[in-house]
Amino acid sequence: MKKIFIIVIAIFVSIGACSENKTSKDNQTENNFNVVISSGSSNVDYYYLVSDFWREAGKYAGINAFDGNLKTCAARDEQIYSVMGGEDYLFTIKFNKYIRVDTIKIAAGCFFNEKYYKFNNRPKEIKITFGVKNTISKNKNDSTTVRVSETFKLQDKMEYQVLNFKKVYNINWIRFKVSSFYKGSKYDDTCISDIKFYYQGKAIKINNIESYKIKNRQEFIKNLDDFLKLMFNSDTIYTWQNDYKEEAKFIFKTNGELKVSFSGSDKRIDYLKKVKKWKIHHGKFLFLIEKRWVPVKYYFSDPDCLEIFQIGKKNMTDKKGNALPLFDEEAQPAI
């Protein structure tokens, strides 16, 4: 079996230490409205949340839902998610300290314009889970949290919606799960354009969004590069089977050559015969087709199965929307 690891992105941003000294009630209240994100993750840590990670890393990352820009969004590709399994939350963020929150305003959907709002999925029901400060413990230094959740139903409208919590929560992390969505007319991506936190009617400012985006993208690319290089660390043979009969063989060589042999009639495989070279570059899996390097939209459903959804603009799914599955021949070195 080929080695595999889970990519865990936990980017810690240090922008000044927040004092815990209790100077005055006014200062404590003011500190509640200035916060930085210390770490964040999305469904299997940005690796699968990002709808278009294969084209531009971080373009649809979870952090986009907190940048206050309605032209950006966090998005999950439901096509990939449906075969991925695992945790079903959309994303989680952790703050550098506890903050009090009683309301959230959410722009649920892609708010780039009205056309793309309809093109993409819009959240219908959302479950929000909080890491609430443990007030039961007698230990003043106890940093553990208690999980509390609330569920909200959203309307299908292109405007901010107000979610009022049942009580004030003192939290240091928050997680969002989209339980159901309004179906998009063209794409199968579920989007959230913006989320704002409030306490007693005043907005809570997150101060490190742009620096976090940069660090997140750099770490994402490095981890994805490492992941792909591990999966192809030796000459590897993949096969495609139709009704349990092998009809195609793909030899990925470490020198960048891709050899394809095919005995069937599937047009998707026929298209792959055009590919002569492959490479990993800045977190992308690329094929050389007609003198152009194009990105591959892929997913490893297990360490030995590479599923290909799209090559450049060429769709590689069948009539049922299933990706093209290529199976590793027990990770044996190619001859």
Question: What pLDDT is stored for residue 11 in this prediction?
Answer: 23
* Nearest one of 106, 92, 74 to 38, comparing CA atoms: 92
Structure confidence by residue, pLDDT tens digits, 236-273: 999 988 777 788 889 999 999 999 888 777 888 888 88
| % the chain with pLDDT above 90 | 32
Nearest-angstrom CA–CA distance, 260 and 79:
27
Contacts of 234 (CB under 8 A, 6+ apart): 254, 331, 333
The tokens for 264 are 């069937």
pLDDT at 90: 76
Q: Nearest-CA neighbor of 95 among 56, 37, 145?
A: 37
13: Cα separation from own chain's centroid = 19
Q: What is the 3-state secondary structure (H, E, C) of the chain?
A: CCCCCCCCCCCCCCCCCCCCCCCCHHHHHHHCCEECEEEEEECCCCCCCCCCCCCCCCCCCHHHHHCCCCCCCEEEEHHHHHHHCCCCCCEEEEEEEEEEEEEEEEEEECCCCHHHHHHCEEEEEEEEEEEEECCCCCCCCCCCEEEEEEEEECCCCCCCEEEEEEEEEEEEEEEEEEEEEECCCCCCEEEEEEEEEEECCEECEECCHHHHHHHHHHHHHHHHHHHHHHHCCCCEEEEEEECCEEEEEEEECCCCEEEEEECCCCHHHHHHCCCCEEEEECCEEEEEECCEEEEEEEEEEECCEEEEEEECCEECCCCCCCCEEEEEEEEEECC
pLDDT digits (tens, 9 = 90+) for 145-168: 789 999 999 999 999 999 999 999
Tokens of 55: 């084209």
Paired residues of 260 in beta bridges: 250
pLDDT one-digit tens code per residue, 58-110: 778 888 899 999 999 988 877 766 655 545 677 888 888 889 999 999 999 99
| Distance from C-alpha of 216 to C-alpha of 167, rounded to nearest angstrom | 32
Q: Tokens 């997150």 label which residue? A: 206
pTM comes to 0.69
Task: For residues 221-226, give the mean pLDDT.
Answer: 81
Per-domain residue ranges of the chain:
25-227, 232-333
pLDDT at 248: 87
* 201-218 pLDDT tens trace: 999 988 888 888 888 788
Say which residue, 191 or 297, is predicted with more confidence.
191
pLDDT of residue 217: 81
Pick the CATH number of 232-333 from 1.20.1260, 1.20.1740, 1.10.3470, 2.40.128: 2.40.128
Reply yes or no on whether the pLDDT at 115 is more than 90: yes
Beta strands 34-35; 205-206: pairing state: parallel
CATH number listed for the domain at residues 25-227:
2.60.120.260
β pairing state of 292-302 and 284-289: antiparallel
What is the distance between the alpha carbons of residues 247 and 89, in angstroms, rounded to a whole number?
A: 38
pLDDT at 21 (0 to 100)? 36
